[in-house]
Amino acid sequence: MTPSISSSLLAGRKIMMAVEGKLLRELLVTMMKQAGAGRFLFGNGVEMLRQVREFAPDLIFCEMQMSMLGGLDFTRQMRNAYMMKTPLILLVPRADGDSSAAGLKAGATVALGVPFSVNEVTEAVRKALEGNATEKAGKIDWSRYS
């Protein structure tokens, strides 16, 4: 029997994905749909940051390495400037423990190593949605993204 995310945990929830990798995004969307998630919004970090308040997601997946706005800056902006406590799962390279630590320090709720198993995604989603919100993180120099 393949483990899956509890449908009651994700039923009708809105999920935002600041994930540029198409295959990674499609895999996550498929898993979240199978678990009953209701609505999705996805794009690069800059696009998602512009829409995060209006969309008001219940859960965010964010890729660590993106072209214009990386996962650490996305997370810090959400936590500091927007003061959002939305659970955020940061997708980091599996073998890079420093990225996981930096992501959690920046305000990610959970750091999930890529590639991942269904069990690992299930556990990350459960921790993110059942855990406590993260605290504010350090400041960002946004002038370099203008």
Which residue segments constitute the domains of the chain, with CATH numbers given?
7-130 (3.40.50.2300)
* C-alpha–C-alpha distance, residues 74 and 3, integer Å: 30
Per DSSP, the residues of 110-133 read: EEEEES--HHHHHHHHHHHHHSPP
- The enclosing H or E element of 56 equals none
Query: What are 93-122's pLDDT values in tens digits?
Result: 987 778 899 999 999 999 999 999 989 999
pTM: 0.85
* C-alpha–C-alpha distance, residues 125 and 59, integer Å: 8
State the pLDDT confidence band at 22, using cuts at 50, 70 and 90: very high
State the pLDDT confidence band at 9, using cuts at 50, 70 and 90: confident
The bridge status of strand 110-114 relative to strand 59-63 is unpaired
